[in-house]
Structure 1
């Protein structure tokens, strides 16, 4: 799309993150791809309504100022594959742990990554 306008950006599936506000109550909402786009509401519904308003304002100001507006990543941007170099000692330990569990190294690492990412997060992302 050559002429990207407000309606174009508002139609994109930006990622909204909601976090409980442990200090004053309610919820804090941010849009991950738009730095500084943040608001809060007394409940989830209000926080989502408020972040949509904040997103509109953020994009309007960026368009007026001629700033680049980040777009959300697309699902096709992620292949599900990546290469990681690790020390030989860690590689050995991972192989040994995978054997103990009776699974492949790939399955073991996938499980550990998923477990780590899902632990202790008190945020919720919405697309």
Structure 2
């Protein structure tokens, strides 16, 4: 299965925001983690559809995984 890696970050207010390194400008935010992922999934779909509709190339998914590395 291939797809775009999504990075989810917690904001100062306790909500969540997400973005994809392969799709600059494609973002989503919500107060709930699951909702943030749902909105990001929709955002990616709409972003890719928009690129295709405009005749722009769709970036390939190049990121393999997001890994959390413990702080030293």
Same fold (TM over 0.5): yes
Q: Does 1:49 align with 2:38?
A: yes
Higher relative contact order (CA 8 A, sep 6+): 2
Cα shift at 1:27: 0.2
Structure 1 unaligned runs (5+)? 1-10, 76-116, 121-127
Task: Give the aligned length.
Answer: 68
For residue 38 of structure 2, give the secondary structure of its aligned residue in structure 1.
helix
The structure where helix makes up a greater share of residues is: 1
- Contact 1:12–1:71 (Cα < 8 Å) also in 2: no
For residue 47 of structure 1, give the secondary structure of its aligned residue in structure 2.
helix
RMSD: 2.2
Q: Which aligned segments of 4 or more residues in structure 1 are displaced greater than 2 angstroms?
A: 117-120
- TM-score under structure 1 length normalisation: 0.48
Structure 2 unaligned runs (5+)? none
